Amino acid sequence: MTTTHPLFDLAGQVALVTGASRGIGLASARALAQAGAQVVLCSHEAAECEAAAGALRAEGLDAQVVVADLVQRPQVDALVAQVLASHGRIDTLVCNAGAAPHMGPIATASDADWELTMTLNLRSVLWLTSAVIAHMAERRSGSVMLMSSIAGLRGNKGLGLYGLSKAALAGLARNLAVEWGPSGVRVNAVSPGVTRTEFARPLTDQPEVMQRRIALTPLRRIAEPEEIAGAVLFLASAAGGFTTGHNLVVDGGTTISDGN
């Protein structure tokens, strides 16, 4: 018989996860549900999100779906309203939805690349947190996680625009932590390294690129989505109850290595 350690027990809580149809988002939703939370999966891809929620329900987990295109503010507001109407509360918010439409030097990014990257990766997160945290503050309890990236911690020749948006997310987490900490709400960022997901396939499908990356990573491998989800679970739970404004780097040591 498996039991949840009290520090990680989320029974009776409600968790909203965006970008939840696959990858890190789905792994995070599963981890939170396994800890006892009722999870709401959000994506703009209705069929994929329903399939993901169905898979969780088949495992005996409590999972529902709300479809929303987060680059449209009215849909962000409607998402929050629907979750509050159906569940009455949101205890954990995981802002995982994101996009990287541009590869290459930042100066070659089009206006459309900038618009999508900054609206989905950053501005929609501000909209969503603004709508959710006020309700958390009324109950003087809540945990918010913004999915950043190690691309936001250092320069990157191929993902500079994406990195800018992710660096801004870590800054947003710090600001929101300061603003809302007195109301009992914790806000943190999580910065994964390269993770085995569909999103990362432009990198992971290039053996030579991955050979170099892995050689620069002390653990000599890339992350599995469940390992990022473990960080999310920690920050959502009582185990992370005194952690706020932090950018939790989960990269196998990539950013601390000197290349040896």
Question: How do residues 3-18 score in pLDDT, each as one tens digit?
Answer: 789 999 999 999 999 9
CA–CA distance, 260 with 140 (Å, rounded to integer): 46
- Residue 255 one-letter amino acid: T
DSSP reduced 3-state for 219? coil
* Range from 180-184, 204-208, 211-215, 249-253 carrying the lowest mean pLDDT: 204-208
For 119, 197, 257, the CA distances from 186, given in Å and listed in that order, are 23, 27, 30
- Cβ(22)–Cβ(50) under 8 Å? no
pLDDT(1) > 60: no
Sheet holding 14-18, edge to edge: 63-67, 38-43, 14-18, 92-95, 142-147, 185-192, 247-250
Q: Which of 8, 162, 180, 234 is catalytic?
A: 162
Instruction: Report the share of the chain in percent with pLDDT over 90.
Output: 86
Q: Shortest CA distance to 141 belongs to which of 152, 151, 130, 133? A: 133
Read off the pLDDT band of 203 (50, 70, 90).
confident
DSSP characters over 159-207: BHHHHHHHHHHHHHHHHHHHHHGGGTEEEEEEEE-SBSSSTTHHHHT-H
Read off the pLDDT band of 2 (50, 70, 90).
low
CA–CA distance, 18 with 114 (Å, rounded to integer): 21
Q: Which residues pair with 204 in a beta bridge?
A: none
pLDDT(260) > 70: no
Taking the alpha carbons of 124, 140, 92, 38 in that order, is the dihedral positive or negative?
A: negative
- Cβ(62)–Cβ(30) under 8 Å? no
Question: How do residues 21-66 score in pLDDT, each as one tens digit?
Answer: 999 999 999 999 999 999 999 999 999 999 999 999 999 999 999 9
- Cβ(41)–Cβ(49) under 8 Å? yes
pLDDT(250) > 50: yes
CA–CA distance, 100 with 117 (Å, rounded to integer): 6
CA–CA distance, 23 with 168 (Å, rounded to integer): 22
- Looking up tokens 């498996």 gives 2
Active site residue 162: yes
First to last CA, the chain: 43
The pTM of the full predicted model, rounded to 2 decimals, is 0.95
Question: How do residues 161-176 score in pLDDT, each as one tens digit?
Answer: 999 999 999 999 999 9
Across the range 241-248, mean pLDDT stands at 98
Please, what is the average pLDDT of the chain? 94
pLDDT(206) > 80: no
CA–CA distance, 16 with 21 (Å, rounded to integer): 12
